[in-house]
Amino acid sequence: MHSVSLSNIRFNFTILLVFILCFNALFEDSEAKKHHKKKKSKRKARQSGYISGGGGNLWTLKSEASGSQITDFFNFESVNQGSQGGIAQYVDLEEGYRSSIVGSKDGTLYLGVDTTKHAENRKSIRISSKDTFSPGTLLVVDILHMPAACGAWPALWTVAKDGEWPEHGEIDIIEGVNMFTQNSLSAHTKTGFWMKSTGFHSKFMLDGDQQTNCDASATNDQGCGLRDPSQASFGEPFNAAKGGIHVMEWTNEAINIFFFPRDEVPGDIASGHPSKSSSWGQPRARFQGSGGQSTGDYFKEHVLVINTNLCGQWPEGVWNSAATYAGQPKSCAAMTGYSTCQDFIANAGDQLHEAYWAIKSVKVYN
């Protein structure tokens, strides 16, 4: 039988104690790391859920087109000028391509006019959407360039697909003539629609008690017209700033029209996910019935129209006048040396190279 010394017992006990303490420390560290990872994982999950769940009140994309696809979105119309006159010869898509007044490049649709020097009836484009719009629609159009030339009458507007004008209304989103630099926005209706005079920052074009009357018959077809105070909302300055995005928000309560210059487009619109609850600031125009009328009673089944008329009632009517009220300091007669609009358009096609639309995209939401 061997004897065990006290010193050996103490040594073995010390080794055992050190081993227990080290094992316990490793266990606690492992548990702490697991707990930390779980907390971090939960924090990420909450953040992810917030981002993906943040769009509960969005407009739903119905249709969109960009570049050459835009031609599939529209019908190309060969029509006469109607009561407003003009000498544009609107042509179909095939003739537009053949005449080089329709084309696409870098995801942008080009819609121009014939620029040969002499042309008695100069070719141009008028297109109308295949889809129709009604209350509950958000229309978003991204434009890089619009026609800017004496004699040109460009417009982007909505109008009833069927029926006698203005029984089912018209909404002018972009309109102007010659070398204007301020956009005109208007609504034309049958008798009975008077608009509220607040809630927008454009200025009335008419004076007096008829300025809020949208009845076309009572206002010599002018309806209730507004002029954007921005000196870069139309024509050359608009083009120099690479355009921007026009939005028409149509609800039963009102028709709001917004314009966002290229460097001021709201994030939700730029991302393609516009929110119904977004605050985009005051619209350029707000056509809301002063008597609480539903917009659907005066504006029905509209199509989007984009065209460039040449001469006609409006550009001819102001040809010999400066239009300082719309940002044009000199008359077109003085700028071109031609005494009439029609003489200029027929004989100076080489001066119409800026009379074109460059459209990046058209999107419709509901």
> pLDDT (tens digit, 9 = 90+) per residue, 280-339?
999 999 999 999 999 999 999 999 999 999 999 999 999 999 999 999 999 999 999 999
> H-helix or E-strand containing 56?
none
Average pLDDT over residues 142-160: 99
Number of domains in the chain: 2
- How many residues are present in the chain? 366
Residue 121's CB is within 10 A of a number of other CB atoms, namely 13
Same domain as 136, residue 93: yes
Residue 51 has pLDDT above 50, yes or no: no
Contact 145, 355 (CB under 8 A): no
Same domain as 80, residue 194: yes
Which of 10, 34, 54 is the endpoint of a domain?
54
Same domain as 157, residue 33: no
Q: Of all residues in the chain, what percent carry a pLDDT higher than 70?
A: 84
Contact 114, 101 (CB under 8 A): yes
Contact 327, 180 (CB under 8 A): yes
Q: How far is residue 295 CA from its own chain's centroid?
A: 20
Which of 36, 54, 72 is the endpoint of a domain?
54
Same domain as 224, residue 158: yes
Average pLDDT over residues 187-205: 98
What residues pair up with 204 in beta bridges, in sequence order? 226
Same domain as 121, residue 10: no
Same domain as 170, residue 312: yes
Active site residues: 170, 175
Please, what's the b/e burial string for 332-358 (b: 16 or more CB within 10 A of its CB; e: otherwise)?
Answer: bbebbebebbbebbbebbebbebbbbb
pLDDT given for residue 84 in this prediction:
80
Residue 252 has pLDDT above 90, yes or no: yes
Alpha carbon dihedral 159, 163, 169, 175, in 10-degree steps, equals 40
Same domain as 315, residue 209: yes
The single-letter code of the amino acid at 112 is G
Same domain as 162, residue 19: no
pLDDT given for residue 55 in this prediction:
46
The domain in which residue 44 lies consists of 1-54
Nearest to 187 by CA among 205, 208, 199: 205
pLDDT given for residue 56 in this prediction:
57
Same domain as 74, residue 25: no
Same domain as 70, residue 48: no
Both structure tokens of 12: 């073995």
CATH of the domain at 256: 2.60.120.200
In which band, very low, low, confident or very high, does the pLDDT at 86 lie, cut at 50, 70 and 90?
very high
In which band, very low, low, confident or very high, does the pLDDT at 175 lie, cut at 50, 70 and 90?
very high
Same domain as 283, residue 232: yes
Same domain as 198, residue 81: yes
Nearest to 219 by CA among 186, 251, 181: 186
Contact 105, 359 (CB under 8 A): no
pLDDT given for residue 76 in this prediction:
98
Mean pLDDT for all residues in the chain: 88
Which of 37, 54, 71 is the endpoint of a domain?
54
pLDDT given for residue 80 in this prediction:
73
Q: Is the dihedral of CA 74, 79, 81, 86 positive or negative?
A: positive
Looking at per-residue confidence, does 105 or 11 come out higher?
105
- Reduced to 3 states (helix: H, G, I; strand: E, B; else coil), residue 39 is helix
